């Protein structure tokens, strides 16, 4: 499920590639990864460390999560607000 049309398209694309959200709370999100043959599944729980909601001045939203002692930053938003912040190492 998504809050807007872009979210719905992203959710559908993720599902088409075998990525499904199982559950979500304020502190965690659980995701199921399914291989293309639908024979192998892996459930992963992510701890939500920080959530920055969409902001019209930032033109993006960000979430920082931790799983298996690794920390990830995911960003969704206007490419004009994301590309200028990337370096050649990103």
Predicted pLDDT of residue 2: 59
Predicted pLDDT of residue 22: 93
The model's pTM is 0.78
Quick check: is 24 in a domain? yes
Domain hosting 38: range is: 5-85
Quick check: is 90 in a domain? no
Sheet holding 60-67, edge to edge: 19-24, 28-34, 41-55, 60-67, 70-77
Give the number of other Cβ atoms within 10 Å of residue 48's Cβ: 15
User: Region 55-80: what's the mean pLDDT?
Assistant: 92
Give the total number of structural domains in the chain.
1
Predicted pLDDT of residue 14: 93
Predicted pLDDT of residue 90: 55
- Whole-number Å distance between alpha carbons of 20 and 56: 28
């Amino acid at each position: 499920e998504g809050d807007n049309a872009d979210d719905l398209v992203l959710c559908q694309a993720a599902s088409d590639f075998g990525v499904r959200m199982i559950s979500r709370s304020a502190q965690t999100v659980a995701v199921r990864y399914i291989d293309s043959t639908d024979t192998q599944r892996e459930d992963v729980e992510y701890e939500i460390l920080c959530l920055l909601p969409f902001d019209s001045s930032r033109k993006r939203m960000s979430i920082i999560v931790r799983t298996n002692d690794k920390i990830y930053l995911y960003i969704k938003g206007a490419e004009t607000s994301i590309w200028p912040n990337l370096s050649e190492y990103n």
